[in-house]
Amino acid sequence: MPGSGGGSELIPIISPYVRHCGHEQRGSWLIESRKLLDYLIVYIASGNGRFEVAGVTTEAGPGDVFWIPPDTPHMMEGYPPSMELAYAHFDVVYQPGKSHWDFSIPGGMLDLAELSALMHEPVCEPRVARLCGRLHSYTNERVGHLLKDVCAEAVRAQPCGALRMSGMMTEMIAEILRGQAGLTSGNSAHIPVLERAANFLHQHCRDPLSIERIARQHGLSPAHFRQLFHKHYGVSPRTYLRQSRIGKACRLMMGSSQTLSEIAIAVGFESVHSFSKAFHAEEGLAPSEYRRAGQAYTRVSGRNTPYSY
């Protein structure tokens, strides 16, 4: 029965609104201690660094998710040579009268008294209210992919994009709460293996990979691996690999000047033709159209306008 697994009581409470997001490859970087008016979620895909949230310092690495509530002191640092991360500034609960502001809080800013009218109100739901700092669970990989999808949707800047992003953020929060609740007894045995296999597919998506060989490397028969993988991720390993390649291509199209032919080879396709065909099947438009659509969107990452506070 729909909703029988619990969580339906959250449906009227959670209505996310994404204000700013980005998926980036950064060199050595540092944001000094500050507070925010809204929520911040960060997923680290690769690289290492140091995060301090509410006085707790954590060495951060691949697969980590950090949840930073409003009015919470935090600092973030990425170590050289580089870090790949995805992030979103958002409201958990959308409020038409106070959610529409657009500026950034710089490092070092801890006094938000003049902006207190814009501060996100506390979320009374205890499972959400206690989220803070590093969240490490078996759902982190899925949280990371959803966060990257949110950023990709922002780049598209298509009609009803904000609504779709809100839906993905709702799904992301559900995955976080599911991870915090723990594993059910029937699902726990193979979760770490599947997460490692998925991470390998994602990190090596440009290489010619054999699903059968990956299954055996992780101690599973190919048929059993495909069955477990689909149950856990909702797609086959081969589809997951294709989506990882397309996702990497999206980032290169928005963040580099490489030609489509160069991008096709860089993400593991044999030709620009096979890349274009797979891209259209996955995204619903040609790579060239995707690249043009993203050029009009300015709030995905970086900032060229002055702070307005």
Summarised one tens digit per residue, pLDDT across range 58-92 is 999 988 999 999 999 999 999 999 999 999 999 99
pLDDT interval class at 294 (50, 70, 90): low
Average pLDDT over residues 270-291: 89
Per-residue pLDDT, 6:
66
Q: For the sheet with 49-53, list strands across it.
A: 29-34, 74-78, 49-53, 56-60
Answering whether pTM is above 0.85, one says no
- Asked if pLDDT for residue 162 goes beyond 80, the answer is yes
Per-residue pLDDT, 214:
92
Percentage of the chain lying above the pLDDT 70 cut:
90
- Of 50-59, 139-148, 253-262, 294-303, highest mean pLDDT: 50-59
Summarised one tens digit per residue, pLDDT across range 248-271 is 888 788 767 899 999 999 999 999
- Asked if pLDDT for residue 5 goes beyond 90, the answer is no
Average pLDDT over residues 126-146: 90
Domains and CATH numbers, the chain: 11-181 (2.60.120.280), 191-294 (1.10.10.60)
Average pLDDT over residues 234-242: 90
Per-residue pLDDT, 309:
33
Per-residue pLDDT, 108:
95
- Asked if pLDDT for residue 184 goes beyond 80, the answer is no
Per-residue pLDDT, 303:
36
Mean pLDDT value across the chain: 86
β-partners of residue 39 are 90
Place of tokens 């790579």: 287
Cα angle 212, 213, 219 (rounded to 5 degrees) comes to: 95
